[in-house]
Amino acid sequence: MNGTMDGNAWTGSVENIYSQVANSWDKAKQEMGTVNLLVTGKTGSGKSTLINAVFRKEMARAGIGRPVTQETKLYEDPDLPLRIYDTKGLELGSSTQAETMAGIRELIREKWKTRDENQFIHAIWYCVNCGTNRVEEKELEWINSLCAMGEAGVPVIVVLTQVFRKKVAKELEEVIDRELAGKPFYEGCFPLLAVADEEDPEGHPAFGLNALVEKTYLVIPSSRKAAFVNAQGVSIDAKAEAARKYIKGYILSSFGTGFAPLPLSDAPLLIANEIAMCTHMTAIFGIALDEKLIASIVTALVGVSAATIGGKTAVSGIMKLIPGPGTILGGIVSGMTAATLTAALGQVYIAVLEQIARGQLKKEDLNSETFKDQLRQMMKAEMDRKAKPKTAEK
């Protein structure tokens, strides 16, 4: 991205900023890929309620699912890096139960044979309605079958739904754990109530979704974790933690800008790196911001840090004019300052995204002077914190 240093401020064209944001956004979504979950269980096991409670959008709505087999519907949304395969209820005594289970196994194997991780089934949620007070022997056989897929195996998580009586849920959990102990793809049993009881929300509040989300995050492949974090709407803390992991790579990139061969040439590179970082973290959070709104936040952060960038560039630029060792030393000073700045900016931006995700900050407020003042204070506090020398604990 083109830009020039003028005194202590970096300026670049609005069109270039929008272009950089759009390119970074597309790249972040492409790298994220898609996470694919299969949700199964008997009719009335609460699959649809669970799906709609976990993800950022209501996926399991009537009329939206696209049939992919006689037994399975596929739910997709263009705004989510997610596919949900929702199977027909596995009914006891049904003449089609064997065909339904065979269809599920075939779907998993077909996706695995593609050798395309974007198509694999990455995890299975098997739902058991706790309200029945028991788990059928046939259901345990079905879960066993899912845990015995061999080479095409997929992590299986049993979800106890509609848990109004936690003692009953605990007993069912013990039965299921005992039956499936040692199975290679069994990942545990999780009791929950996806939605609070409308008639008694205080006596029966929703619970358990965080534990399910955390376990699913752990068992899916590393390459799908960002997609899952984006799609889920339960844990904002998980989104923030995932975003923080990505800051490290951008810190290393920003350090490298300090070794750009020409004095004053690293500032535009640093700005481009920060724009890419902020856009990537926006994608991880799954916040629906258009490129102009993203650019508004990013350019506000750049404006807050412009003086710091200018001071860094002036000092390191002079040192780079000294041949030999001066160039290397200037690069190290510049690189360390750029890395510190990027780390601070990343933490502030995550805090902003958290406020948006929690409903504490509205999108229409992002261009307000109040928000910009808050941003300046946050950035200054973060830079002061990072500049403060660490003292040894006594």
Phi, psi for residue 193 in degrees, rounded to 5: -125, 110
* Residue 239 in tokens: 């989104």
Over residues 98-151, the pLDDT tens digits come to: 777 888 889 999 999 999 999 999 999 999 999 888 888 888 988 998 998 877
What's the mean pLDDT when you consider all of the chain?
78
Predicted local confidence at residue 137, as pLDDT? 85
Q: How confident is the model at residue 17 (pLDDT cuts 50, 70, 90)?
A: low
Q: How confident is the model at residue 274 (pLDDT cuts 50, 70, 90)?
A: confident
Mean pLDDT for the stretch of residues 74-96: 82
3-state secondary structure labels for all residues of 299-338:
HHHHHHHHHHHHHHHHHHHHHHCCCCHHHHHHHHHHHHHH
What residue ranges of the chain are covered by domains with CATH 3.40.50.300?
34-231
* Residue 104 in tokens: 């599920």
**Among 162-176, 315-329, 372-386, which is the least confidently predicted range?**
315-329
Mean pLDDT for the stretch of residues 181-187: 92
* Residue 329 predicted with pLDDT over 50: no
Predicted local confidence at residue 14, as pLDDT? 55
More confident residue, 257 or 83: 83
Question: CB–CB of 330/316 below 8 Å?
Answer: yes
Predicted local confidence at residue 269, as pLDDT? 59
Rounded to whole angstroms, the Cα distance separating 170 from 193 reads 14
Predicted local confidence at residue 161, as pLDDT? 95
* Residue 44 in tokens: 């009335």
Predicted local confidence at residue 128, as pLDDT? 93
* Residue 3 predicted with pLDDT over 50: no
* Residue 376 in tokens: 């300046």
Quick one: 372 exposed, middle or buried, by C-beta within 10 A (0-12, 13-18, 19+)? middle
Residue with tokens 């020409």: 262
Max avg pLDDT among 64-68, 96-100, 154-158, 390-394: 154-158
Question: CB–CB of 341/308 below 8 Å?
Answer: yes
Question: CB–CB of 163/169 below 8 Å?
Answer: yes
Amino acid occupying residue 126: Y
Q: What's the predicted TM-score (pTM) here?
A: 0.80
Residue with tokens 């950035």: 379
Rounded to whole angstroms, the Cα distance separating 352 from 180 reads 44
* Residue 231 predicted with pLDDT over 50: yes
More confident residue, 385 or 2: 385
Tally Cβ neighbours within 10 Å of residue 60. Answer: 19
Predicted local confidence at residue 119, as pLDDT? 94
Rounded to whole angstroms, the Cα distance separating 375 from 41 reads 48
b/e map 175-196, b = 16+ CB within 10 Å = ebeebbeeeebbbbbbbbbbbe
* Residue 285 predicted with pLDDT over 60: yes
Name the residue among 353, 380, 347 with its Cα closest to residue 366: 353
More confident residue, 320 or 206: 206
Question: CB–CB of 281/287 below 8 Å?
Answer: no
Predicted local confidence at residue 299, as pLDDT? 65
Question: CB–CB of 39/84 below 8 Å?
Answer: yes
Name the CATH topology of 34-231. Rossmann fold (3.40.50)
Predicted local confidence at residue 325, as pLDDT? 43
* Residue 4 predicted with pLDDT over 50: no
Q: How confident is the model at residue 309 (pLDDT cuts 50, 70, 90)?
A: very low
* Residue 237 predicted with pLDDT over 80: yes
Mean pLDDT for the stretch of residues 317-343: 53
More confident residue, 366 or 49: 49
* Residue 364 in tokens: 């229409």
* Residue 278 predicted with pLDDT over 90: no
